A and B are shown apart, each in its own frame.
Chain A
Amino acid sequence: AQTVTQSQPEMSVQEAETVTLSCTYDTSESDYYLFWYKQPPSRQMILVIRQEAYKQQNATENRFSVNFQKAAKSFSLKISDSQLGDAAMYFCAYKRNTGNQFYFGTGTSLTVIP
């Protein structure tokens, strides 16, 4: 079974600084999808960014970018110019190209220090 590991239960960052959240996954598939979800205190699960494994280019969404290392099975999230509103729980997730099952990591709680 696929597993997703987030080795940082908690992280903190100064406002306006940059922080990187780590995620590794285990799979024997060559085609799959990776996601980062944000869960603020409101508890709504919000998609931050998505990466298709067949794309070599790292996905970017405004201040959020990923470092996708397919051979290393690593998918880290970089948040630039951190804002107070970025404080949340962040979940890394994996999905195979076929089928509908998502695998979530255990989450990283991000604190933004004013």
Chain B
Amino acid sequence: DTAVSQTPKYLVTQMGNDKSIKCEQNLGHDTMYWYKQDSKKFLKIMFSYNNKELIINETVPNRFSPKSPDKAHLNLHINSLELGDSAVYFCASSQESRTEAFFGQGTRLTVV
């Protein structure tokens, strides 16, 4: 069983479109994250949710919005996609204190 799964693995779309990436974890963790990995492989935290509450929101454009219907899911919605949004997006989860983050397999988003 996959611990953290995100779909789709690849997403190619045109500028201006709206898209979503889904993430689910079956580990019972209380916190989920979205990271963006750019072409230089830098990992940047975008959002995290703890018990349905947004606890981190770095300087991410308003076009990006996380949606968490329940503790096991954290979806990422992106409006009006831009070329600079092209990157790999990772979903992850963890339990407060004493555990590592578990990552999904990543979604490679390409905006053309």
Contacts and interface: CB of A to CB of B under 8 A. Distances in A.
B103 A100 contact: no
A44 B103 contact: yes
Contacts of B48: 100-101
B96 interface: yes
Name the interface size band of chain A. 20 to 34
Interface residues of B, number: 25
B55 A43 contact: no
A45 interface: yes
Q: Is the interface of B mostly helix, strand, loop or mixed?
A: strand
Contacts of B90: 45
B56 A107 contact: no
A64 to B, nearest CB: 14
B66 to A, nearest CB: 14
Given A100-B50, A100-B55, A101-B56, A50 B41 contact: no
Interface in B87-112: 88, 90, 92, 94, 96-98, 100-103, 105-106, 108
A104 B43 contact: yes
Contact of A100 (B31, B88, B102, B105): B31
A43 B102 CA distance: 13
A52 B100 CA distance: 11
A63 B3 CA distance: 25
Given A91-B43, A104-B43, A44 B94 contact: no
Interface of B: 31, 33, 40-43, 45, 48, 50, 55-56, 88, 90, 92, 94, 96-98, 100-103, 105-106, 108
Interface of A: 33, 35, 39, 42-45, 47, 50, 52, 89, 91, 93, 95, 97-102, 104, 106-107, 109
